[in-house]
Structure 1
Amino acid sequence: MSRDKRVYRFGTDGRGGDATEGSAEMRYILGGKGANLAEMARIGLPVPPGFTITCQTCVEYAQAGDVWPEGALEEVAAAERDLEQRYGKRLGDAADPLLVSVRSGAPFSMPGMMDTVLNLGLNDESVRGLIAQTDNPRFAWDSYRRFIQMFSDVVLGVDADLFENALTARRLLAGVRTDAELSAEDLEALVGEFKAIFSDHVSAKDHPELVVDGAVAFPADPALQLRLAIQAVFGSWMNERAILYRQRNGIPDDLGTAVNVQVMVFGNKGDTSATGVAFTRNPADGTREFYGDFLVNAQGEDVVAGIRNTEPISDLASKPGLESAGAELERYFSVLENHYRDMCDIEFTIEQGSLWMLQTRVGKRTAGAALRIAIDMVGEGLITREEAVSRIDPAQLDQLLHPQFDTAARPDVIARGLNASPGAAVGAIVFSSDDAVERAQRGEPVILVRWETNPDDLKGMVAAEGILTSHGGKTSHAAVIARGMGTPCVCGVEAFRIDAAAKEVRIAGSDLVLHEGDVISIDGATGVVAAGAVPLVSAELTGDLGTILGWADDIRLAPDAGRPAHVRVNADNPEDARLALEFGAEAIGLCRTEHMFLGERKSIIQTFILSDDDTERAGALDELLRVQTEDFASMMRTMDGRPMVIRLIDPPLHEFLDSPRELDVAIARLEAAGGDPERVRALRDRLRRIDAMSEANPMLGLRGVRLSVIFGDLPLMQVRAIAEAAARLIAEGLDPRPEIMVPLVAITEEHVQMRELIERVLREVGAERGVALDIPVGTMVELPRACLVAGSIAAHADFFCFGTNDLTQTTFGFSRDDAEAKFIPAYLHRKILAANPFETVDDAVLELVRTAVDKARAVNPGMHFGVCGEHGGDPASIVRFLNEAGVDYVSCSPYRVPQARLAAAHAVLARTRG
């Protein structure tokens, strides 16, 4: 089979034979949907025939400026003729027309982000043929009006509200409540209205191919309909919501989307027809049950759009006229789950009692469900523990640390809906995505309240703390996207009567009216909606999460893992250290001593920095020695028997001083108020001293080891505090294991001289206390020069820990504080950068780390290496550091320790498999 093909067939040939050319392994060519359609057909499931245009064709089309690659249109036309021959019908045929759907299908699942066109092939003649073949005028006209509405919106960009308004007006005129109650005559009239809307809102200048007799007309030629629909699906790969979704989920922009053209089967042919979306297990909590929604006499878009409230999939097999298809579907659930060895997401249609499978894929699920499903499948013998661990996305674990309603609280429950995505959220009500973004940017937590969301709401859904819809089921757009993002969501809150224009919602059965800005709380695990702010509590690392993390630890620390992958924590106080131990940290990889100078102690370090009086300075230093000794002792006691890397003071001293601008303003106000001249004089002297310490570029100035060289009393005090604390605990029979780290070393002699000072103090304290203090001394590698001379430094160091925040700054020449706010977003948008280098490690920075490790290990084979910058908590970076750079551990903030443990296991699994 040629890999240069642009079109691949799938499904039966109409005579019971299989005409499928693809398989599940071809998702980068056929997209996930096309590959899985081919796979379902290959294993014998009923799949309507069709063909898939490859992802590579989409990429070539886009790169050429929306111009079809040479020969591609001819191949599509040949596939169209082949499909007509296989199915025995022709597109647009006036007697017995073939209708097709045109759907996107990227290599990675992007639910709702790209476009679909259904019922393609209808025109004023073929609709008559459809009536003749089905003897169902209502079905035919309903299909035609749906096609015009969807095609106009998706392909030509005509405002969908224009059609919805016409539909609403027609229901009022007919005196009915729902679309399903409209007659064939009503729907035929709507077709005429919809075509008029199309003609009035499509530009003849922009679309000359649609001009007939001097006016724009809805296209009647099925070949033109198909070409325009395929182009629209190609174009949707680069729409705003799809780009945002890919950025949020780490999906590359250069993959493109495949297009699947498939024979239509109809769930809107009466009471023996239905359509639905189902999961082989519950994607919200992982329960082994058939889960999902269906609608009788409807098309698939009705289910996910939330325009009608659905029925649970468990009721399908007992529905009159649908019993056989429902039982058959349940059999296919087992077939697919056993074949894919995972929970599957399924789309299906039942046409007059016959079941057709329209899609399957490995289903998206919440973090809690992912854990439950993985553990259960290990117990069922479907997968191994290693496979179970590899299937859990480390980033997804953040969902499990989402807050929940405090069980001690008594929420004022005002409504209930469907528990669509777990976690609890509190925020101000907003009724539009734009308002959600605006308020969130001001730092205000919001709950996005909508009748139902649609793909254009993605930016508001990302900005919101939680999502609430009054319509839609557990497989609606809001539910699926919220679960994927880990955002709490409650759907189908029927008591919410939303008036988005008035920015208010009335609660059915009560006099309560909520307005924009009113605070509500939602619980996505129970479906509860409460007035006001309900107290929230965080979850604990127990149950399924504890099981998976235990398996992950077994993998990453296994004797046969090659090099074990350790996880430490960045902690500066006993509370964080205790929390980190609860989260599974093995040691402290970074204790930032300067954080111990803040709060009420800030005045002590200020006295040391600014005083001219030697006695005052000495007193301040003694007080710092006392409090630092207590701090270190407390933390070492918490970490008894575990390493604790303590970094000597790093930031410029001016960071501990008052803002000169604020001090200048205070002086001016004091003078204007006739304040005490002596007080003014003292403040001016203080301002002069602060100004004297200012630097043009303080991040590259007097900081790190340079600070210790110039202000030698500070490192002497800090080392003595560490030594005194360790000696005290040893005397108590404990096992303190501090490691002293010298920051921002660029020159070997900097480290050599600091080590001499450190070891002298350790000897002095050890002699005074009568204990042997064998404390390792290492270097924090944060500068490119240090990486290049790492072999020289390593001859005098016991360990290296890479501070990748500063290493990234100095490698790029970017100021992190400025770059992330001012130009990195633009660089990402313009593809100058593929990712924010302060979030995910850059290749060049990784190469510097690898170089340093190799050079140091060659000189000092017994050294150990860690990473303690922000990248130490990023799952993708963790795998690369452990496998490509050869470090021994990563260190991160307490709440990222669970993610790091799982990512470290992924690194070992990738290493052992590779």
Structure 2
Amino acid sequence: MLHLKPEDAAVQNNPNTTLVTQDAPIANNTHGGRAKCLQRLVRMDLPVPRTVALSFETIEKIANGEMPDVDLVVDQFPKEALLCVRPSSEDPDWGGPGAVLNIGMNDKRFEKYSRTMGEDAAAALYTRFIQSYAINVARLDPDMFDDVEGEGRAALAETIAAYEHETEEKFPQSRRTQLAAVLRSMARAWSGTSARLLRQAKGAPTDAGLGLVVQQMIFGLGAGQCGSGVLQLVDSGTGAEQVTGRYLSQSQGRDALDDDNDALYLTRDPRGPSLEEKLPEAFETLKTYASLMRTRLREEMQVEFAIDDGVVHILDGVRVARSSRGAVRIAVTLAQDGVISREEALMRVPPRLLTELLHRQIDPSARRDIVGRGIAASPGAATGRLVFDSAGAQASAARGEPCILVRRETTSEDVRGMHAASAVLTERGGITSHAAVIGRGIGLPCVVGASSLIFNQRDKTITTREGRVFHAGDQMTVDGSTGQILAGAAAMQEAALDDYFQQLMAWATDTADIKVRANADTPADAQTARNFNAEGIGLCRTEHMFFDSWRLTVMREMIFADTSDGRRAVLERLLPMQRDDFTQLFRIMQGQPVCIRLFDPPLHEFLPMDASGQRELAEALGLPRSDVTRRIEAMREYNPMLGLRGVRLGITVPEIYEMQARAIFEAILDASDDGAPVMAEIMIPLVSARREVELVKNAIDAVAQAVRQERDVPFEYRLGVMVETPRACLRAAEIAPYCAFLSFGTNDLTQMTYGLSRDDAGRFMSDYVQQGVFDEDPFHTLDIDGVGELLTLGAQRGRQAKPDITVSVCGEHGGNPESIAFCRAAGFDYVSCSPFRVPVARLAAAQLAISDKIR
């Protein structure tokens, strides 16, 4: 307890050197979080040692050589008291210089304490302070004390001699002089270049302020029951209710957390003695204090305490460190217990933190033999044996062996291999490359653009810069959350989608005011989306359905057909399979909207490029190999991503869209047999002109009318376009009258706006970001200024022409919290993203809605 003396008034009314009392002018943004927390503990009448808080302004002045009245600070404490100084930044995660304990210890006090607490305890206090002072204040090398041996007076004498030899001056004996030097050292350390860079890396402003707290020491050493420790009421890893921590007799600060065999457990434990057994009253008192702090501070707190001759003192309270799983459970439990509101629980969980819960991750304590790095393209981690083609991945899956699929870059032909693999590693590609998009869609860990490694597909090897060679069959670990590639197997933590996660997501759905759909290409993807409570499918890429080996053969036959009737005849064999695919999707989504994008990629992607594949195709088609090779060469394009694909293919080879439309309409009727309503949407890709939409719409409407007459059953559907060309954005007013919705495909739109290949940009993007050309990779974070302006223009012009048109984003940016903020502000109806990013998007959307209410 702190009680003001008359002489306290001068410091109490000083905003820069403030005695911590219940009504002192202390705030987070002036004195830091630690100072404010200590004031709250004082207000709770907890036994907090006397403390003076120094403001940000004071510490900045100290760093610039202007010292406050140190005597005024020192005079707030008993003359014989030792002091400690600890940092108090605005956000505890920003760190700060290390604490310095036992300020005021000198030769005279050593002799006095030797008589009262014992010579060894007094020598330990003094020795610790001298070494800390030497390292943190005098900036001496810690190694200078390596030769100090033993304990007690002898070790103390060696420590003093080492200090005085190195500094060529006596160790300071004045408490005032020592405190002034410590304050000056800590202030300058905070303002140094390395500290600024470290803060910036943690997300803090480089000019963030630092406060310091000067507190009376509670020894934790001496006669009677003395020691120090920490206690919390929850497990940091799981968030479960559990008293955890450590206590070390005859110790100070956070010594108990060091690897020390003498530290006691807190609760009764078969592994060793506990504080509960040794000091039951102190243990119960600490639990009571921790519970009070939880309720009054509205947070799970770790209590730092000291025991002096059996009496408990509270030195500090800090927010409990927690894993991603623990953070969710703690937030939800606090809300369920009425300590905080549901809205506050939602705000306390960073959206990106959920990514760690959705996928297996490498255990943070595991040793990492890092052999290379790339772009973290799809989160999660996996271990497997290296395979270098899709056939190898499928063979491994058939044997039940996990594998890592290694490719220079993946194509549509690799989709089956990706489904079979445990992870994917590519030499090329960026955040929206084929491997990255598919990986995120199916929850497959993926690292792309690993240019630090040398890939040899012919020899089936990977070589590191240091010359280490890994062959097919060797075991590696891919960490798609960090971009690291590791040799061997790493210890893993499993995904954690428990009841607390589900409860948080339910609250998020109730709170958000922009819908979140999922991009899902297969029934398995749709089921994942449904499990995450996605509000429909915003993008189903139908081309991935054609890469099954039997379907691929039929598709190739269609490509080689010379006439329209010939193509229709071949596609008749694909129709039942497409219909079954769509029927499964509709039934899984149970009445939620399902947006199906019509066929998009250029046809050459379905044809083999290697000699053996061309020979097999010639045999399957009964054609001379030369004819096959000549046809494939004739179909090559200089820039296929800007060539004959999307709606252009639908107009010039209309049979494909006609087959897909029939499959969709028949699936609507088949899926409706059990009474579940079907909300089907058909999306035309790569539109850039009104006439394209007119032509395709007329063809699809004709198929719909034919199916209605054949089945004699009415059905409804919505037709829209995927806006992914700049021209479509600019001419949206002409296109919108023919559409029920405009869905912006930001992957291709970004690519076309920038003139960047999303598969190749990864090679130089990090250099561009580092040199400030771009603030962020535009394929990772939506470019608000450029691409965002096109989105805004497209949405505005589309709605001017058709006010009730639905507007959305279905590119990978749809799962990015910053992009969701833009879409919500622009009045978009929904965003759509990979299934495993749906929870992240839902939480981000909820937080945006809450933030608007707070303003």
CA distance in 2, matches of 1:153, 1:682: 81
Structure 2 counterpart of 1:107, one-letter code: D
CA distance in 2, matches of 1:128, 1:693: 90
Superposed counterparts of 1:472-871, under 5 Å: 541=497, 543-556=499-512, 564-600=513-549, 601-610=551-560, 617-659=567-609, 662-663=610-611, 686-730=628-672, 735-819=677-761, 821-830=762-771, 833-844=774-785, 845-871=787-813
Structure 2 counterpart of 1:649, one-letter code: F
CA distance in 1, matches of 2:574, 2:845: 38
- The aligned counterpart of 1:471 is none
CA distance in 1, matches of 2:239, 2:686: 48
User: Contact conserved, 2:86 with 2:214, CA < 8 A, in 1?
Assistant: yes
Structure 1 counterpart of 2:510, one-letter code: D
Deviations 1:392-413 (A, max 9, x none): 333333444355xxxxxxxxxx
Q: CA deviation at 1:740?
A: 0.4
User: Contact conserved, 2:301 with 2:318, CA < 8 A, in 1?
Assistant: yes
Q: CA deviation at 1:74?
A: 5.3
Does residue 887 in structure 1 map to residue 828 in structure 2?
yes
1:715 counterpart SS class: helix
1:720 counterpart SS class: helix
CA distance in 1, matches of 2:806, 2:620: 56
- The aligned counterpart of 1:36 is 37
Superposed counterparts of 1:448-487, under 5 Å: none
For residue 153 of structure 2, the aligned residue among 184, 195, 211 is 184
- The aligned counterpart of 2:51 is 49
Q: For the structure 1 residues 74 and 84, does the alpha-carbon distance in structure 2 shift closer, same or farther, using more than 3 Å as the test?
A: farther
Q: CA deviation at 1:801?
A: 1.9
User: Contact conserved, 2:305 with 2:312, CA < 8 A, in 1?
Assistant: yes
Q: CA deviation at 1:186?
A: 2.5
CA distance in 1, matches of 2:323, 2:527: 28
- The aligned counterpart of 2:110 is 131
Deviations 1:479-530 (A, max 9, x none): xxxxxxxxxxxxxxxxxxxxxxxxxxxxxxxxxxxxxx9999xxxxxxxxxx
Q: For the structure 1 residues 532 and 794, does the alpha-carbon distance in structure 2 shift closer, same or farther, using more than 3 Å as the test?
A: closer
Structure 1 counterpart of 2:107, one-letter code: R
User: Contact conserved, 2:543 with 2:601, CA < 8 A, in 1?
Assistant: yes
For residue 105 of structure 1, the aligned residue among 69, 73, 89 is 89
Moved more, 286-295 or 336-345: 286-295
Structure 2 counterpart of 1:903, one-letter code: A
Deviations 1:815-838 (A, max 9, x none): 33233x323334444565554443
CA distance in 2, matches of 1:749, 1:252: 52
In the alignment of these two chains, the number of paired residues is 722
CA distance in 2, matches of 1:140, 1:519: 54
Q: For the structure 1 residues 165 and 822, does the alpha-carbon distance in structure 2 shift closer, same or farther, using more than 3 Å as the test?
A: farther
CA distance in 1, matches of 2:651, 2:139: 66
Q: For the structure 1 residues 782 and 265, does the alpha-carbon distance in structure 2 shift closer, same or farther, using more than 3 Å as the test?
A: farther
- The aligned counterpart of 1:275 is 228
Q: CA deviation at 1:647?
A: 0.6
Deviations 1:736-759 (A, max 9, x none): 321001122233333333323322
Q: For the structure 1 residues 726 and 221, does the alpha-carbon distance in structure 2 shift closer, same or farther, using more than 3 Å as the test?
A: closer
Superposed counterparts of 1:324-335, under 5 Å: 326-335=283-292
CA distance in 1, matches of 2:494, 2:302: 32
1:843 counterpart SS class: coil
- The aligned counterpart of 1:22 is 26
Identity of aligned residues (%): 31
CA distance in 2, matches of 1:518, 1:792: 55
- The aligned counterpart of 1:231 is 188
Q: For the structure 1 residues 445 and 377, does the alpha-carbon distance in structure 2 shift closer, same or farther, using more than 3 Å as the test?
A: closer
2:823 counterpart SS class: helix
CA distance in 2, matches of 1:144, 1:828: 50
User: Contact conserved, 2:686 with 2:724, CA < 8 A, in 1?
Assistant: yes
Q: CA deviation at 1:776?
A: 0.5
2:596 counterpart SS class: strand
Structure 2 counterpart of 1:890, one-letter code: V
Q: CA deviation at 1:566?
A: 2.4
Q: CA deviation at 1:628?
A: 1.8
Does residue 262 in structure 1 map to residue 214 in structure 2?
yes
CA distance in 1, matches of 2:37, 2:532: 39
Structure 1 counterpart of 2:93, one-letter code: S
- The aligned counterpart of 1:908 is 849
- The aligned counterpart of 1:292 is 245
Question: Structure 1: any 5+ residue segments left out of the alignment?
Answer: 59-67, 90-95, 175-181, 200-209, 214-219, 404-422, 448-464, 466-516, 521-530, 557-563, 671-675
For residue 84 of structure 1, the aligned residue among 74, 78, 81 is 74
User: Contact conserved, 1:317 with 1:327, CA < 8 A, in 2?
Assistant: no
Deviations 1:742-779 (A, max 9, x none): 12223333333332332222223323332334210112
2:304 counterpart SS class: strand
For residue 119 of structure 1, the aligned residue among 101, 112, 134 is 101
Q: For the structure 1 residues 713 and 164, does the alpha-carbon distance in structure 2 shift closer, same or farther, using more than 3 Å as the test?
A: farther
Structure 2 counterpart of 1:641, one-letter code: G
Structure 1 counterpart of 2:295, one-letter code: N
Q: For the structure 1 residues 586 and 830, does the alpha-carbon distance in structure 2 shift closer, same or farther, using more than 3 Å as the test?
A: same
- The aligned counterpart of 1:494 is none
Moved more, 851-860 or 754-763: 851-860
Structure 2 counterpart of 1:332, one-letter code: Y
Structure 2 counterpart of 1:82, one-letter code: L
Structure 2 counterpart of 1:823, one-letter code: F
CA distance in 1, matches of 2:576, 2:619: 36
Does residue 9 in structure 1 map to residue 13 in structure 2?
no
Q: CA deviation at 1:390?
A: 3.4
User: Contact conserved, 1:281 with 1:288, CA < 8 A, in 2?
Assistant: yes
Q: For the structure 1 residues 652 and 211, does the alpha-carbon distance in structure 2 shift closer, same or farther, using more than 3 Å as the test?
A: farther
Question: Structure 2: any 5+ residue segments left out of the alignment?
Answer: 1-12, 171-176, 269-273, 385-422, 424-473, 478-487
Q: For the structure 1 residues 439 and 888, does the alpha-carbon distance in structure 2 shift closer, same or farther, using more than 3 Å as the test?
A: closer
CA distance in 2, matches of 1:711, 1:133: 97
CA distance in 2, matches of 1:808, 1:719: 29
User: Contact conserved, 1:283 with 1:366, CA < 8 A, in 2?
Assistant: yes
Q: For the structure 1 residues 594 and 22, does the alpha-carbon distance in structure 2 shift closer, same or farther, using more than 3 Å as the test?
A: same
User: Contact conserved, 2:745 with 2:810, CA < 8 A, in 1?
Assistant: yes
Q: CA deviation at 1:592?
A: 0.5
CA distance in 2, matches of 1:678, 1:519: 38
User: Contact conserved, 1:8 with 1:21, CA < 8 A, in 2?
Assistant: no
User: Contact conserved, 1:286 with 1:373, CA < 8 A, in 2?
Assistant: yes
2:501 counterpart SS class: helix
Q: CA deviation at 1:722?
A: 1.5
1:300 counterpart SS class: coil
